[in-house]
Amino acid sequence: MNLPAGIALPNDAPAAGTCVKIERPEAGLALVRLDPPHRKMPVFDLALMRDFALALDELEADKGLRAVVIAGREPLTFVAGADVDVIASITDRALARELGRFGELLFDRVARLSVPTVAAVGGPVPGGACELALAARWIVLADDKRSRIGLPEVRLGILPGWGGSQRLPRRIGTPAALEAILTGRLYGPREALKLGLVDRLAAPENLVRIASDLALGREMPRSFKKPLPARIVDSNSLARSFVERQVRTKLERETHGHYPAPFAALELVLRATSTPLEQGLEAEADALATLAISPECKSLVTLFRLSEEAKKTKFLADGSEGKRLARIGVIGAGVMGAGIARLAAEKGVTARLSDVARAPLDAALHVHRKEVGRQLAKRRVQKHEADAALDRLELTEGLVGFDRCDLVVEAVVERLDVKQKVLGELARRMADDALLATNTSSLSVDSIAEGLPHPERVVGMHFFNPVAQMPLVEVVRGKRTADWAVAAVAKLALELGKTPVICADVPGFLVNRLLGPYLDEAARLFVAGVDPEHIDSLARDFGMPMGPLELLDEVGFDVAAHAAESLAAAYGPRMHSAKLIHDALAAGLKGKKGGAGFYLHALDPKTKKAKRGAVNPAMARFVAPGKRTIDYGEATILDQLFLTMLNEAARCLEEGVVAGPRELDLASVFGMGFAPFRGGLLRWADTLGAKDALARLRRIAGAPDVLARPEGAARFQPAMLLQTMAEHGGRFHG
């Protein structure tokens, strides 16, 4: 079985036969170990696929073979899916299809072996690794919190293309397969067992032994029966049509038509149980070929690679890792502080939460217990893990015990004197090498560190709200912040499941600095008479998770006004904001937290959360009087929203706020929700071209309504970097 002709092995690929080892632990049993010497964490690259095909040649020719177990080099090291570098490099549809068919046929050979086959897997088992496991007769998963199995391909803009879209519905039923594939979820051991995705759990040290017993018949497999609703959907075309309508409506609402992969996966999964396997595999290969070369796939794969690159921020220049911060303190039990402490406790880090009042501490503990209980009910954690997570959250109304913390994050009121006082008191109590972190969103890290002993250990650790959901943490390096402090905080962010991006200590850091003019332009469009729902719907259609006016409601007018004042004080005329938010605040409007902003917000009796309603008629008083003289078309609105953001991004690169365009794109997506299918703010700009972006900016800068504003000319004056790129045909990304 030859590799696809259009893809060549790299020159440094290991010799044939070295990536897969066949062991013979007892008569008739073949233990196939995937153990490529050239990778710390194996992936299905061309070398591994080549050698797996060679191993299957040997197994198929073995007349004395009684059973096969497929395992990794260690119980918690199997294969981390397909090689994303190969996916990123393919631009030819025929070649993409050939690679998909190669994987399908390779794994189909496993399914067609005449003897029992068992996949003994553990640790990360995503994508192609899961598809290989699905081709085996039974799957045994290591019972360890590090084990995660599933099919996350839609997150990369593709679909399971090596048989997963066909084998998973046959195994667990169409409804559960749709949930697994369309969400791209990775399941923990207990969830996977309940779902029927795996047949048996085993302690890591017993993984291969139990898999061998199962393969040789010394242990009987667990009997799994699909739920009745799944059996009805699998066998009834009318039921499948009903499911399709429901799921398609949901996808259209969530994706706004920007992500083709979920829709392609929906069609394949729905037809899997009523289609012969080989026909289904052919259709799967066709769909994969189209998706793999799509711009959406290339953008999402790029973001995945950027998030993997961000993991390197925990390393120092000499290659060593930053120190682990096993015990942290958090000062301030408000929304942000409580969220940080709860997240740390859930992720295995002991967190001591302090506040001057008891009520917010009790509220934080209540939410923590509720969330841990929810995870326990869903079998995402075991009882002893849930108990440990509860024990790791410690509460106090003082600073007792903070001297034992490796790091303390302050999340108190946004006042410089208050933050300096809090950190000064902590500095007197804590070890000289204990880190002092601030969650400030608007104050200077250097200013906060002024006068503190050992200012090299003061660093910004800026989380975004809501803490549990937002994936980005800005790690802010002050002028005196030490490299070891930055690496340690980045490592902590990764341990908490966040993506760190290192930023310079400038007002607004990166994300809030980019958001400022974007939100202000939306407010000015509203004052000019543009319907708020129209503004927000255009932004959502562009790919943003919510519109800018919805976001202002979510953030709160008080927070938005404070941030706007800070940016204006730092950057001058181009950041001067409209009076709208201040006027609305003076009129008693606060946004979602007060029940009314641009929209009305009412408490949903079922979810107990505020739900957005109609446009708030009270905001009409802030619309400029008289007949509107400017015709704001859709293109003009989008340009005013996003080109002002792009212009500020170019200035951030000029100033070295982040290391480069890749980091800025990652932060734009993970911190503000910039359309992922566009690959980030600067990758989108590259699709426009610098000349086009420059011409549009100049056109806006010359518009009468913009010229009439105090900040208009400055805000839309093109950054020098954009002008240089336009002159020389440059791009942000190469």
| Beta-carbon contacts of residue 720 (< 8 Å; ≥ 6 apart) | 654
pLDDT at 226 over 80: yes
pLDDT at 606 over 80: no
What rounded mean pLDDT belongs to the chain? 94
Shared domain for 239 and 122, answered yes or no, is yes
Would 176 be classed as within a structural domain? yes
Where does the pLDDT of residue 706 fall: very low under 50, low under 70, confident under 90, or very high at 90 and above? confident
Shared domain for 289 and 344, answered yes or no, is no
Residue 201, token pair as written in the block: 């759990």
Q: Which of 229, 263, 293 is the last residue of a domain?
A: 293
Q: Which of 293, 327, 361 is the last residue of a domain?
A: 293
Shared domain for 93 and 242, answered yes or no, is yes
Shared domain for 495 and 607, answered yes or no, is no
pLDDT at 629 over 60: no
List, in sequence order, every residue forming a beta bridge with 477; answer none if it has no partner: 504
Shared domain for 26 and 57, answered yes or no, is yes
Q: In what order do the strands lie in the sheet with 200-202?
A: 20-26, 29-34, 67-72, 117-121, 138-142, 200-202
Would 4 be classed as within a structural domain? no
Would 2 be classed as within a structural domain? no
pLDDT at 612 over 90: no
The counts of H helices and E strands in the chain are 31, 19
List, in sequence order, every residue forming a beta bridge with 67; answer none if it has no partner: 29
Residue 380, token pair as written in the block: 């995402």
Q: Is the bond into 466 cis (omega within 30 degrees of 0)?
A: yes
pTM exceeds cut of 0.75: yes
Shared domain for 434 and 549, answered yes or no, is no
Shared domain for 322 and 273, answered yes or no, is no
Looking at residue 222, its pLDDT comes to 84
Looking at residue 442, its pLDDT comes to 87
pLDDT digits (tens, 9 = 90+) for 18-72: 999 999 999 999 999 999 999 999 999 999 999 999 999 999 999 999 999 999 9
Most confident of 4-18, 88-102, 691-705: 88-102
**Crossing angle of helices 295-310 and 277-292, rounded to 10°:** 80
Q: Please give the share of the chain, as a percent, with pLDDT higher than 90.
A: 90
Distance (Å, whole) CA 99 – CA 433: 52
Looking at residue 627, its pLDDT comes to 56
DSSP reduced 3-state for 558 = helix
Domain CATH number, residue 530: 1.10.1040.50
pLDDT digits (tens, 9 = 90+) for 420-430: 999 999 999 99
Shared domain for 63 and 156, answered yes or no, is yes
Distance (Å, whole) CA 149 – CA 164: 12
pLDDT digits (tens, 9 = 90+) for 346-362: 999 999 999 999 999 99
Distance (Å, whole) CA 644 – CA 642: 5
Burial state string for 489-523 with b = 16 or more CB within 10 A and e = fewer than 16: bbbbbbbbebbbbbbbbbbbbbbbbbbbbbbbbbb
Cβ neighbours around 602 below 10 Å, total: 11
Distance (Å, whole) CA 241 – CA 329: 53
Would 179 be classed as within a structural domain? yes
Looking at residue 84, its pLDDT comes to 93
pLDDT digits (tens, 9 = 90+) for 499-533: 999 999 999 999 999 999 999 999 999 999 999 99
Looking at the structure of the chain, the number of domains it has is 3
411 closest CA partner among 488, 455, 467:
467
Shared domain for 563 and 587, answered yes or no, is yes
Distance (Å, whole) CA 44 – CA 66: 26
Which residue segment(s) compose the domain that 70 sits in? Answer: 20-293
Helix segments in 378-452, DSSP class H: 383-391, 416-429, 445-449
Would 306 be classed as within a structural domain? no
- Sign of the CA dihedral with 98 first, then 104, 106, and 108 last: negative
First to last CA, the chain: 38
Where does the pLDDT of residue 554 fall: very low under 50, low under 70, confident under 90, or very high at 90 and above? very high
Distance (Å, whole) CA 43 – CA 21: 16
Shared domain for 268 and 329, answered yes or no, is no
Distance (Å, whole) CA 174 – CA 379: 22
pLDDT at 723 over 90: yes
pLDDT at 605 over 80: no
Integer CA distances (angstroms), 715 to 513, 548, 555, 572, in order: 13, 18, 23, 10
DSSP 88: H
Average pLDDT over residues 458-468: 96
Would 307 be classed as within a structural domain? no
Q: Which of 452, 472, 501 is the last residue of a domain?
A: 501
pLDDT at 547 over 60: yes
Would 198 be classed as within a structural domain? yes
Strands (E), 447-586: 458-463, 472-477, 499-504
Domain CATH number, residue 60: 3.90.226.10
pLDDT digits (tens, 9 = 90+) for 180-192: 999 999 999 999 9
366 classed as catalytic: no
Q: Catalytic residue, from 454, 462, 576, 601: name it.
A: 462
Which DSSP string do the residues of 305-361 spell out, in sequence order?
Answer: HHHHHHGGGGB-TTSPBPPP--EEEEE--SHHHHHHHHHHHHTT-EEEEE-SSHHHH
Shared domain for 323 and 283, answered yes or no, is no
Looking at residue 632, its pLDDT comes to 82
Would 13 be classed as within a structural domain? no
The alpha carbon torsion through 499, 505, 511, 516 (nearest 10 deg) reads 170
Shared domain for 282 and 332, answered yes or no, is no
Query: Taking a C-beta distance cutoff of 8 angstroms, is the pair 592, 584 a contact?
Result: no
Residue 542, token pair as written in the block: 């562009």
Distance (Å, whole) CA 608 – CA 107: 48
